[in-house]
Amino acid sequence: MFYDLVASTWDQDETDALHRVIDSGQFTMAGEVAAFEKEFAAYFDMPYAVMVNSGSSANLAGVASLFFKKDRPLQPGDEVIVPAVSWSTTYHPLQQYGLKLRFVDIDLATLNIDVTQLAAALTPRTRMIMVVSILGNPAALDVISKFAEQHGLYLFEDNCESMDAELNGRKTGTFGDLNSFSFFFSHHISTMEGGMVLTRDAELYQLMRAIRAHGWTRDLPADSPLFERRGDSHFEQYRFILPGYNLRPLEFSGATGRTQLKKLPGFTAARRRNAELFRSLFQDDERFIIQQENGRSSAFSFTIILNPAAQIDRNAVFSALREASIGFRVITGGCFPRHEAIRFYDYETVGDLPNANLLHEQGFFVGNHAFDLTPQLTRLRSVLDECCK
Ligand SMILES: Cc1ncc(COP(=O)(O)O)c(C=O)c1O
């Protein structure tokens, strides 16, 4: 493919890391994962990190932990404010724990939740905001965290698409009570499958460690406030205090994560250089609505929404892109309430979500990678010029 949606960032370093694990004979979660958690937390200047086997699992473990807090736990029937555009597993744990979702439209410039509608989304049952920075572009996390604080709401940052982005000098994925990350193949760093949750809350940290591994106590410190040790070591090894899962990552993912994290600043710089070129090619063309940067984007990919005023047939554009061997796809998951899975949800929308619907019907994205995309972006520009006359 001339310009693919995804590209590997692995080289000999990751192969060496895999061999280090093979040579050690320790494959299930142990020292490599623990070291990666420590290094990842340090990179983001956060005290606690819990690695799991995907970004989806990070959202699941994080949402679950809020239900087992001692004070002010979430309860079934509580409401969560969510953006109308995100990935399915931003939402599924909320449904699985019996929460009601209130979908808010996106801002057409940034593609993130439209913060002018937060007040309209708030009800006496609202307990949390699930905020998502779409495709590298920071959501209005400053405004949203202030709103959450004013109204006593938990803030969950699903940062699976925006590792290394920044708002006002602060990294995304550090604003929430809980902050999730994905290391899936196509993401900013890759362990092939993998995820992480960052938090400053010691209780949520320990809850997630138990939830990650069967709900047992084995991964908790001896002085954990979550349970009292009874001194019967035979039974203590198999003591279950929470309804948990098995979301543990492999040592392979811990080891490759450590290698990839060292390369993250270089990857982000390369992605940003491509983003500058993309903007210079498309910014002033009224036929195309492109994502406007808020703060410093980590440029996951490049979105284009065909301006309805230009009356361009998206299928004709897709045919031209296929012909030119340029990969493209739906922007994140499109407008989520339009998916069949919504019939299992308890939800309301705040208004008709016109921007999320426009993104769904007229949008697509092309990839960004950690290497120079000048030939690819130049070709994209000429293909779109030709078919959008
Ligand atoms: C916003 C968002 N949340 C969660 C996920 C899930 O991550 P994973 O694929 O690692 O399960 C994704 C995946 O791309 C995502 O974009």
The ligand 1 atom nearest the CA atom of 187:
14
Q: What is the pLDDT of residue 234?
A: 85
CA of 90 to the centre of ligand 1 (A): 7
Q: Give the Cα separation of 130 and 150 in Å (integer).
A: 16
Q: What is the pLDDT of residue 79?
A: 98
Residues 189, 181: contact at Cβ < 8 Å?
no
pLDDT band of 236, cuts 50, 70, 90: confident
Q: Give the Cα separation of 300 and 324 in Å (integer).
A: 22
Q: Give the Cα separation of 85 and 343 in Å (integer).
A: 17
Ligand 1 and 157: CB distance under 6 A: no
User: Is 90 exceeded by the pLDDT of residue 28?
Assistant: yes
Instruction: Report, as residue numbers or ranges, the catalytic residues.
Output: 187
Q: What is the pLDDT of residue 186?
A: 87
pLDDT in tens, 173-213: 999 999 999 999 989 999 999 999 999 999 999 999 999 99
Q: State the DSSP code for 333.
A: T
Q: Give the Cα separation of 112 and 88 in Å (integer).
A: 16
User: Is 90 exceeded by the pLDDT of residue 232?
Assistant: no
pLDDT in tens, 318-365: 999 999 999 999 999 999 999 999 999 999 999 999 999 999 999 999
User: Is 90 exceeded by the pLDDT of residue 233?
Assistant: no
**Averaged pLDDT for residues 84-110:** 98
User: Is 90 exceeded by the pLDDT of residue 230?
Assistant: no
Q: What is the pLDDT of residue 153?
A: 98
The ligand 1 atom nearest the CA atom of 161:
16
Q: Give the Cα separation of 200 and 166 in Å (integer).
A: 18
pLDDT band of 389, cuts 50, 70, 90: confident
Q: State the DSSP code for 112.
A: S
Mutate to test the pocket of ligand 1, among 111, 182, 185, 298 (most ligand atoms within 8 A of CB): 182
User: Is 90 exceeded by the pLDDT of residue 163?
Assistant: yes
Ligand 1 and 160: CB distance under 6 A: yes
The ligand 1 atom nearest the CA atom of 183:
10
CA of 31 to the centre of ligand 1 (A): 25
Model's pTM, two decimal places?
A: 0.98
Q: What is the pLDDT of residue 150?
A: 98
Residue closest to 109 by CA, chosen among 148, 140, 68, 63: 140
- The residue whose CA is least distant from atom 10 of ligand 1 is 55
User: Is 90 exceeded by the pLDDT of residue 135?
Assistant: yes
Residues 217, 35: contact at Cβ < 8 Å?
no
Ligand 1 and 56: CB distance under 6 A: yes
Which residue in this structure is represented by tokens 């983001």? Answer: 44
**Averaged pLDDT for residues 81-101:** 98
Q: What is the pLDDT of residue 297?
A: 98
The ligand 1 atom nearest the CA atom of 195:
10
Q: Give the Cα separation of 203 and 162 in Å (integer).
A: 26
Ligand 1 and 182: CB distance under 6 A: yes
pLDDT in tens, 266-317: 999 999 999 999 999 999 999 999 999 999 999 999 999 999 999 999 999 9
Torsion of CA 58, 62, 63, 67, to 10 degrees: 150
Ligand 1 and 195: CB distance under 6 A: yes
Q: What is the pLDDT of residue 235?
A: 85
Which element (helix H / strand E) includes 244? none
Q: What is the pLDDT of residue 231?
A: 83
Residue closest to 198 by CA, chosen among 5, 375, 335, 40: 40
Q: Give the Cα separation of 37 and 119 in Å (integer).
A: 36
Mean pLDDT of the chain: 97
The ligand 1 atom nearest the CA atom of 57:
11
Ligand 1 and 54: CB distance under 6 A: yes
- The residue whose CA is least distant from atom 8 of ligand 1 is 55
Residue count (the chain): 389
Q: Where are the alpha helices (DSSP H) in the chain?
A: 12-24, 31-43, 55-67, 88-96, 118-121, 141-150, 202-212, 233-236, 251-282, 314-323, 354-362, 374-387
Q: What is the pLDDT of residue 387?
A: 94
Q: What is the pLDDT of residue 51?
A: 99
Which element (helix H / strand E) includes 51? strand 48-52
Cα 301–chain centre separation: 13
Residue closest to 181 by CA, chosen among 204, 202, 201, 164: 164
Mutate to test the pocket of ligand 1, among 6, 89, 90, 157 (most ligand atoms within 8 A of CB): 89
Q: Give the Cα separation of 26 and 31 in Å (integer).
A: 9
Residues 105, 356: contact at Cβ < 8 Å?
yes
